[in-house]
Amino acid sequence: MISISLLLYPFTNYGNLFPPSSSILAGRKPNFPIISSSMTVREKGASARSSEENRDGGLKSAPSTPTPTTFPPIRVTKRVVLVRHGQSTWNADGRIQGSSDFSVLTPKGEAQALTSRQMLIHDSFDVCFASPLSRARRTAEIIWGSRGKAIIMERDLREIDLYSFQGLLKHEGREKFGDAYRLWQVDAPNFQIDNHYPVRELWDRARACWNKILAHESKSVLVVAHNAVNQALIATSIGLGTEYYRILMQSNCGVSVLDFIPRAGGGSPCVCLNRLNQTPDSPIAAGSSGSSKTSQQIILVCRGSLRNDAEEQPMNMLGVIQSQKTAELLLDLKVNTIVTSIKKASMETAAIISKVQEAADCLGADCVPRYVDIRHMEELDVENIFKQFKRVITEPL
């Protein structure tokens, strides 16, 4: 059985009939429960990296706390749209790609990229950064289309370096590397191969990549890369450490959006995660990424449109329609819990979704009423959500 929770907060709403932030966050059997990244503006301060303690002949333990990223100051709000490449031949084969460059897009991958192009066709991008690996470069070319400016190939956007794992089928990795492969599956931040820690290196590379992206004179940026590196870009932007690897899974051609907002007094900008892994397919499809499956889902939902566009106002008629359409979109799922902002429109949207969910189970004469638990939280904080859902999600269903 899948445990499903909704996180309902006043994210950016473009006035579409379906709010754009209705996206799934799903991961595969991590050491701790599935958890949402923060969708509120997270202020970042400078912080020294946690010291690492040597043990067992040089093996380093993972930092116990995430390292906040300090970004260069920006003058205007900057939007960054992250897209993962379409399905590749090695995705289809179940082969470990890493940063190798032997796979290309499958026909399905090309079709996914074309769909993403249509999803983003009205976005006025100033620049496109892309991984130089063939599968990402081709995806970028399809999405970028006839836009005049050249795509900037950025080597730091390549996929995670997996060294001797690269090119192996997954069962070959288990057979050849045994305990190391198991560590890669259950404790990726501490996984070591060929004297490297791939996930830690990836997080460092993502921080460096942000400096290049944010330094570019542009307001709207398209970035086309890979699952792991896009996870690292999202995590480092909102202050999450390597323990969130595989929690922010990015589907083939999944779209995530980050807004960087300048601070009045200068310094590192505030960051808002606007969309997470919005896919060309149904946003409520069973949680997966390639062969990765999940038994829990957290779905991020945007509240409906407001009267007078003021956060304290209730929803207008369009907002009510949006909420009803979102509730219909979620009918095939059994939502267990809704966590909502205390803002009026968010609570109204939560109530509409809850009523539809409860009514859907009571259409027969012998039905047993099902109640959706609604919880109010002033700010959607990653660590608090983690602590509160740890008990709920790990309990037997």
Catalytic residue among 159, 226, 243, 348: 159
312 included as an active-site residue: no
What is the spatial distance between Cα 264 and Cα 75, in angstroms, rounded to a whole number? 9
What is the spatial distance between Cα 336 and Cα 371, in angstroms, rounded to a whole number? 8
Closest CA to 381 of 25, 35, 101, 99: 35
SS3 at position 195? coil
Catalytic residue among 85, 226, 243, 348: 85
Spatial contact of 28 and 249, defined as CB atoms under 8 Å apart: yes
Neighbours of 38 (CB within 10 A): 20
Phi-psi region of 56 (alpha: psi -120 to 50; beta: other; left: phi over 0): left
SS3 at position 117? helix
159 included as an active-site residue: yes
* Phi, then psi, of 374 in degrees rounded to 5: -105, 125
Neighbours of 73 (CB within 10 A): 12
Spatial contact of 105 and 85, defined as CB atoms under 8 Å apart: yes
Spatial contact of 6 and 337, defined as CB atoms under 8 Å apart: yes
Strand order in the sheet with 78-84: 152-153, 127-130, 220-225, 78-84, 255-261, 270-278
- Sequence-ordered list of residues with C-beta below 8 angstroms from that of 65, at least 6 positions apart, any chain: 50, 241
Active site residues: 85, 159
